[in-house]
C-alpha cells in the first residue's frame, strides 16, 4: 500500500493483537507480527529462552520482540530494510472504493445490476452467461463468484458443497457498531473474550470499529448486544447490525469455469483478521494458475488443493485460541476446552507441549513465532528445550539474551508515538 491508499482508507498501523481474558479472566497477552529473538539453525529462539527461564536468566518472552514491545508502548515507524513487521487497520468500505477507482483507472468496467438468471451449458455444466434483471446479458469464459455467503454461482449453480466447521468454531453471529475516537489510535487490535465469544476494538484515524462475535447456541442477540454496548467508548455513530455466518469452506472453490473468492468460498471469524488476506491470496493464486488456452483440470485441482490447505491451517490456528484455555467459568468456555479438535492441531499442540518444537508448513500464513506466542499466551509451557541450548553456559546465555533484549529496548525508545507518526506520514483528508 502507498501513502495515498493509507490516507484514503483512514488506515492506522497494526503490530499485533492484544488477547484479553482468553487464557484466564484478567490475563492478557499479545500476538505480534514480528520475530522474537534470534534462531539457531538447529533450534528456534524459544529453546534458548526456555533454558534462560529455568536458570532465572530470562525475562518475559515478549521482551525479545521489537514489534511486541513497540505495540505495548504505542510506538511505530517504518524502519530501514523492513525492520518492522506490520499490518493495517483500515476502513473496509473505503478500501473497496479505493480499489474500484484504482481498477477502473486500468480499464476495468463495472456493470451494476441484479442477477436474474445464470445460464449454463447443457453438456459441460459450465456457466455461459449472466442474465440481469434489466435484460443485459453478460457472457464470459471464466466467472468469479463474489456473491457473498449466498454463493449464487459456486453453490446454487455449480452445486459445490460447503464443509461446515461449526463443530470446532462455535461462534456463528456478530454484531458491529462504529464509535467516535476518544483517544490516540493504538497499533493493536484488541480482542476481549466475553462469556460466549469475544469483542473487537479496531482504531482507525477517524473512528473506532467495534463488534462482538458470539455463539447463538449459548447467548441470544439481546444479551450479546447488551454486552457490546456496555463495553464501548465514544459516541455511537451507527446502529448496531447483526451478521450471521457459518464457519467453513466450499469443498471446491474452483469448479468448471467458476472460481469463488471471498465469502462465497468460505468464512472464518475475524479473530486473526484473515478475510482480506484470503481474498488477496485467492486472486494471486488465480493469476498464477490463470488459463492461457482453455481451462485445464490440473490447474483446477492445484488451485483447490492449495486453497484448502491454506484455510485449514488458519482454521487450526483459530481453534487453538478457544481450545487451549484455563477458562471454565461459562458453558461456552467449558465446551471449547473439552471439545475434540482436528488431528492436525492436536499434533501441533502436543509437539510444542512435549518438546517446544514448532515447524511452519510451507505457504501457511502464520509462521513459527505466531504459533509460539499464542501457545505460550494461552498457557502451554513446553516440558523441555532443545539440547542445543545446553551448549551455552550461564554467562554466555545471559549475554545472548541480554543483548537481544537491550537492542529491542534501544530501538523502541527511538520510535515516535504511533498517533504522531500516522498524522505526519499518512493523515486522512478532512
pLDDT tens column, 338-374: 999 999 999 999 999 999 999 998 889 999 999 999 9
**Cell 467495534, residue?**
210
For residues 283 and 201, what is the distance between their CA atoms, to the nearest angstrom? 28
**Range 79-106 average pLDDT:** 93
Asked if residue 199 lies in contact with residue 215, where contact means CB atoms within 8 angstroms, the answer is no
Asked if residue 118 lies in contact with residue 45, where contact means CB atoms within 8 angstroms, the answer is no
Q: Taking the model in full, what pTM does it have?
A: 0.95
What DSSP string describes 275-320?
A: HHHHHHHHHHHHHHT--SSS--HHHHHHHHHHHHHHHHHHHHHHHH
pLDDT value of residue 430? 65
Q: Is the pLDDT of residue 112 over 70?
A: yes
Candidate from 3-17, 55-69, 222-236, 398-412 with smallest mean pLDDT: 3-17
Percent of the chain's residues with pLDDT above 90 = 93
Average pLDDT over the chain reads 95
pLDDT value of residue 1? 60
pLDDT value of residue 101? 92
The residue among 198, 220, 223, 221 whose CA lies nearest residue 211 is: 198
* DSSP helix/strand/coil, 388: helix
Residue 93 — left, alpha, or beta (φ > 0 → left; ψ -120 to 50 → alpha)? alpha
pLDDT value of residue 130? 98
The residue among 216, 241, 223 whose CA lies nearest residue 166 is: 216
Asked if residue 211 lies in contact with residue 238, where contact means CB atoms within 8 angstroms, the answer is no
Beta strands 28-32 and 137-139: pairing type? unpaired
**Cell 471449547, residue?**
336
What does the angle CA 74 – CA 198 – CA 353 come to, to the nearest 5 degrees?
80
Tell whether the torsion through CA atoms of 194, 70, 416 and 427 is positive or negative.
negative
For residues 34 and 5, what is the distance between their CA atoms, to the nearest angstrom? 23
Q: Kindly indicate the confidence band of residue 428, based on its pLDDT and cuts at 50, 70 and 90.
A: confident
Amino acid at each position: 500500500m502507498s501513502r495515498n491508499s493509507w490516507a484514503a482508507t483512514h488506515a492506522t498501523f497494526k503490530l499485533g493483537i492484544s488477547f484479553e481474558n482468553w487464557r484466564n479472566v484478567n490475563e492478557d497477552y499479545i500476538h505480534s507480527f514480528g520475530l522474537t529473538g534470534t534462531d539457531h539453525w538447529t533450534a528456534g529462539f524459544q529453546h534458548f529462552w526456555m533454558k534462560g527461564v529455568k536458570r532465572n536468566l530470562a525475562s518475559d518472552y515478549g521482551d525479545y520482540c521489537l514489534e511486541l514491545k513497540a505495540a505495548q508502548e504505542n510506538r511505530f515507524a517504518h524502519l530501514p530494510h523492513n525492520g518492522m513487521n506490520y499490518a493495517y487497520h483500515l476502513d473496509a468500505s473505503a478500501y473497496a472504493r479505493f480499489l474500484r477507482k484504482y481498477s477502473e483507472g486500468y480499464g476495468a468496467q463495472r456493470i451494476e445490476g441484479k442477477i436474474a438468471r445464470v445460464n449454463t451449458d447443457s453438456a459441460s455444466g459450465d456457466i455461459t452467461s449472466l442474465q440481469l434483471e434489466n435484460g443485459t446479458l453478460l457472457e464470459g469464459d471464466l466467472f468469479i463468484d463474489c456473491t457473498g455467503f449466498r454463493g449464487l454461482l459456486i453453490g446454487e449453480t455449480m452445486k459445490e458443497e460447503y464443509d461446515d466447521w461449526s463443530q470446532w468454531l462455535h461462534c456463528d453471529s456478530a454484531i458491529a457498531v462504529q464509535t467516535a475516537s476518544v483517544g490516540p489510535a493504538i497499533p493493536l487490535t484488541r480482542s476481549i473474550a466475553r462469556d460466549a465469544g469475544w469483542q473487537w476494538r479496531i482504531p482507525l484515524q477517524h473512528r473506532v470499529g467495534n463488534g462482538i462475535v458470539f455463539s447463538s447456541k449459548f447467548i441470544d442477540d439481546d444479551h450479546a448486544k447488551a454486552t457490546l454496548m456496555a463495553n464501548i467508548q465514544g459516541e455511537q455513530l451507527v446502529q448496531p447490525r447483526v451478521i450471521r455466518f457459518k464457519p467453513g469452506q466450499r469443498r471446491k472453490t474452483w469448479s468448471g469455469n467458476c472460481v469463488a473468492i471471498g465469502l462465497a468460498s468460505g468464512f472464518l471469524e475475524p479473530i486473526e483478521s484473515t478475510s482480506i488476506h484470503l481474498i488477496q491470496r485467492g486472486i494471486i493464486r488465480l493469476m498464477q494458475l490463470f488459463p492461457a488456452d482453455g481451462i485445464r483440470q490440473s490447474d483446477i485441482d492445484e488451485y483447490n488443493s492449495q486453497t484448502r490447505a491454506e484455510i485449514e491451517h488458519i482454521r487450526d490456528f483459530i481453534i487453538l485460541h478457544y481450545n487451549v484455555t484455563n477458562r471454565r467459568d461459562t458453558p461456552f468456555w467449558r465446551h471449547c476446552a473439552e471439545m475434540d479438535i482436528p488431528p492436525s492441531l492436536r499434533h501441533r499442540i502436543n509437539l510444542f507441549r512435549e518438546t517446544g518444537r514448532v515447524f511452519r508448513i510451507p505457504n501457511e500464513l502464520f509462521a513459527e513465532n505466531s504459533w509460539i506466542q499464542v501457545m505460550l499466551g494461552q498457557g502451554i509451557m513446553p516440558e523441555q528445550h532443545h539440547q542445543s541450548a545446553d551448549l551455552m553456559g550461564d554467562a554466555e546465555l545471559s549475554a545472548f539474551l541480554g543483548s537481544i533484549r537491550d537492542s529491542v529496548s534501544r530501538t523502541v525508545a527511538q520510535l515516535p508515538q504511533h498517533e504522531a507518526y500516522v498524522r505526519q506520514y499518512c493523515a486522512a483528508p478532512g
